[in-house]
Amino acid sequence: MNIKPAASETGDPLLLTPGPLTTSASVKQAMVHDWGSRDQGFIAINKMVLEKIVELAGGQGTHVTVPVQGSGTFAVEAMITTFVPKSGKLLVVINGAYGQRAKKIAEIAGRAVATYETPEDTPPDLARLEKILVDDKAITHVFAVHCETTSGILNPIVEIAALVKKQGRRLLVDSMSAFGAIEIDARNVHYDALAASSNKCLEGVPGLGFVVCRNAALAECKGNATTLVLDLFDQAEGFAKTGQYRFTPPIHVIVALGKAIEEHAAEGGVAGRGKRYRENATVLIDGMRAMGFRTLLPNDLQAPIIVTFHMPTDPKFVFQRFYDGLKDRGYVIYPGKLTVADSFRMGCIGRLNADHMRGALAAVREVLDEMRVTNGGPALAAE
Ligand SMILES: *Cc1c(COP(=O)(O)O)cnc(C)c1O
Query: 197: Cβ below 6 Å to ligand 1?
Result: yes
Does the pLDDT at position 338 exceed 90? Answer: no
pLDDT one-digit tens code per residue, 174-208: 999 999 999 999 999 999 999 999 999 999 999 99
> If pLDDT is split at 50, 70 and 90, which confidence band does 3 have?
confident
134 C-alpha to center of ligand 1: Å?
30
pLDDT digits (tens, 9 = 90+) for 319-332: 999 999 999 999 99
Mean pLDDT of the chain: 95
pLDDT in the model for residue 383: 42
Instruction: Label residue 1 by pLDDT band (50, 70, 90).
Output: confident
Which residue's CA is minimally distant from atom 12 of ligand 1?
Answer: 176
Work out which ligand 1 atom sits closest to the CA atom of 147. Answer: 13
pLDDT at res. 380: 55
pLDDT reported for residue 382: 44
Regarding the beta carbon of 76 and ligand 1, being less than 6 Å apart is answered yes
Question: Does 294 have pLDDT greater than 80?
Answer: yes
Report the residue among 95, 197, 305 best suited for mutation to probe ligand 1: largest number of ligand atoms under 8 A from its CB: 197
Percent above pLDDT 70 for the chain: 98
Identify residue 84 by its one-letter amino acid code.
Answer: V
Any atom of ligand 1 within 6 Å of the Cβ of 98 = yes
- List, for residues 42-53, the tens digit of each pLDDT value: 999 999 999 999
What is the SS3 assignment for the chain?
CCCCCCCCCCCCCEECCCCCCCCCHHHHHCCCCCCCCCCHHHHHHHHHHHHHHHHHHCCCCCEEEEEEECCHHHHHHHHHHHHCCCCCEEEEEECCHHHHHHHHHHHHCCCEEEEEECCCCCCCCHHHHHHHHHHCCCCCEEEEECEECCCCEECCHHHHHHHHHHCCCEEEEECCCCCCCCCCCCCCCCCCEEEEECCCCCCCCCCEEEEEEEHHHHCCCCCCCCCCCCCHHHHHHHHHHHCCCCCCCCHHHHHHHHHHHHHHHHCCHHHHHHHHHHHHHHHHHHHHHHCCCCECCCHHHECCCEEEEECCCCCCCCHHHHHHHHHHCCEECEECCCCCCCEEEEECCCCCCHHHHHHHHHHHHHHHHHHCCCCCCCCHHHC
State the closest ligand 1 atom to the C-alpha of 19, by its place in the atom list counted from 1. 1
Q: Determine the pLDDT at residue 223.
A: 97
Mutate to test the pocket of ligand 1, among 68, 71, 151 (most ligand atoms within 8 A of CB): 71
Atom of ligand 1 nearest to the CA of 177: 15
Question: How much is the pLDDT for 37?
Answer: 86
pLDDT exceeds 60 at position 367 = yes
Cα 200 to averaged position of ligand 1 atoms, centre (Å): 9
Q: How far, in Å, is the centroid of ligand 1 from the Cα of 243?
A: 27
Distance of CA 94 from the midpoint of ligand 1 (Å): 14
Q: Is 175 in the pocket of ligand 1 (CB under 6 A)?
A: no
Query: pLDDT, tens digit, for every residue of 119-175?
Result: 999 999 999 999 999 999 999 999 999 999 999 999 999 999 999 999 999 999 999
Residue 176 CA to ligand 1 centre (angstroms): 6
Mean local confidence (pLDDT), 20-30: 96
pLDDT at residue 18, as a whole number? 87
Nearest CA to ligand 1 atom 6: 72
Å from CA of 381 to ligand 1 middle: 33
For ligand 1, is residue 72 a contact (CB within 6 Å)? yes
Residue 18 near ligand 1, beta carbon < 6 Å: yes
pLDDT band at 381 (very low <50, low <70, confident <90, very high): very low
Domains detected in the chain? 14-23+269-371 (3.90.1150.10), 33-265 (3.40.640.10)
The answer to whether the CB of 121 is under 6 A from ligand 1 is no
pTM: 0.96
